[in-house]
Amino acid sequence: MTEIPEHLLKRAQAARQKAAGTGSADSAGSGERIPDALLDRTRAAGTSEKAAAVVAAGASAGLPVGAGPGGHTQRLLTVVKSGSIQEAKAAPVDKVHTWPHLLAVEFVAALACTAFLFVFSWVVNAPLLQAADFNKTPNPSKAPWYFLGLQELLTMFHPMIAGVTLPGMGLIALILAPYLDRNPSNKPEDRKFMTSMMTMFLMFWAVLVIIGSFFRGPGFNFIFPWRDGIYFEL
């Protein structure tokens, strides 16, 4: 059962007191505004309340059948709060102000990132090799590091599979992930399968990139970086 809010109860109380006050004043002073018959009925109802037999008293005073205590023909059944008829979807969420809680964190993160990049760029120079020369093919020729996994696949498959089909399928699988995974939970313990699938997917590419970056030397042959040196430029 819905609890009636306190302020509504108070308002009802005040209204009742006011009605009682004016009612007595009316009966005493301004009798001309209210017909006598009605005043009689009110008085009769007032006495019948004490008599406890409401319907009988009402009938004896000529009241409509079914009138409530006090002679009212209407009753307040219940107060319906807006939340119970409007479907409220939003459950209360524990929130904090963006300023300063989030913006301060972002500011520090951006500052730390800038500082790291600044110091790193101060210490380590970006590579600039000899000017491009079509007649001198460096050995090995390597793609940028994020494509070295694909270049590694090239050693195993036909270029159409390694360069287009496999990465294309990977990309499509990524795009379709939310539509294939119908498990609504985001709890790690409920989604061990997807977690392990993604981990395998990421590890697959990471291992290929690492092999392509550090374990491939002249002629893109397999080497050990600690034995034959590193053939890798960022």
Partner 1 sequence: MAKVLDNPRPTIKERAAKLGGQVQGSQAWNSIFRPGSIFRKGYTDSPRNRSYVVMNSVLYHLHPVKVKRHAVKVSYTLCLGGLSFFLFILLTVTGIFLMFFYRPTAANAWQDIQMLQTSVTFGLLVRNMHRWGAHLMVLSVFLHMARVFYHGAYKPPREFNWVIGVVLLTLTLLLSFTGYLLPWDQLALWAVAVGTNMMGYTPVFGNQVRFVLLGGVEIGSETLLRWYVLHVLMLPFVIVIFMAIHFWRVRKDGGISGPL
Contacts to partner 1 from residues 97-116, by CB under 8 A? 97-103, 105-106, 109-110, 113-114
What is the secondary structure of 71-89 as a DSSP string?
G-S-----PPPHHHHTT--
CA dihedral 41, 46, 47, 50 (to 10 degrees): 150
Query: Which phi and psi angles does 52 have, rounded to 5°?
Result: 70, -25
Cα separation, 99 vs 172, in Å, equals: 39
Residue 233 makes contact with partner 1 by CB under 8 A: yes
Q: Is 202 in the site for partner 1 (CB under 8 A)?
A: yes
Q: Taken in order 127, 132, 136, 140, is the CA torsion positive or negative? A: positive
Closest CB to partner 1 among residues 3, 133: 133
Using CB under 8 A, count the residues that bind partner 1: 72
Q: Which of 120, 192, 200, 227 binds partner 1 (CB under 8 A)?
A: 120
Give the span between the Cα atoms of 188 and 195, in whole angstroms.
8
Q: Which of 15, 174, 207, 230 binds partner 1 (CB under 8 A)?
A: 174
Nearer to partner 1, 19 or 143 (CB): 143
Query: Residue 140: is the preceding peptide bond cis (ω within 30°)?
Result: yes
| Site membership for partner 1, residue 163 (CB under 8 A) | yes
Q: CB under 8 Å to 69, separation ≥6 — which residues?
A: 45, 49, 54
Per CB under 8 A, 122 contacts partner 1: yes
- Minimum CB distance to partner 1 smaller for 79 or for 206: 206
> Using CB under 8 A, which of the segments 11-19, 21-29, 75-83, 133-141 binds partner 1?
133-141
Minimum distance from CB of 193 to partner 1 (Å)? Answer: 12
Stretch that binds partner 1, among 15-23, 49-57, 63-71, 88-96 (CB under 8 A): 88-96
> Exposure pattern of 183-202 as b/e (b: 16+ CB <10 Å)?
eeeeeeeebeeeeeeeeeee
User: Does residue 56 sit in helix, strand or coil?
Assistant: helix
Nearer to partner 1, 38 or 103 (CB): 103
220 in Cβ contact with 140 (< 8 Å): yes
Rule CB under 8 A: choose which of 86, 141, 192, 219 binds partner 1: 141
By CB under 8 A, residue 143 contacts partner 1? yes
**Of the residues 142, 211, 215, 225, which one makes contact with partner 1 according to CB under 8 A:** 142
160 lies in the binding site for partner 1 (CB under 8 A): yes
For partner 1, the closer CB: 66 or 92: 92
Q: Kindly state whether residue 53 participates in binding partner 1, applying the rule CB under 8 A.
A: no
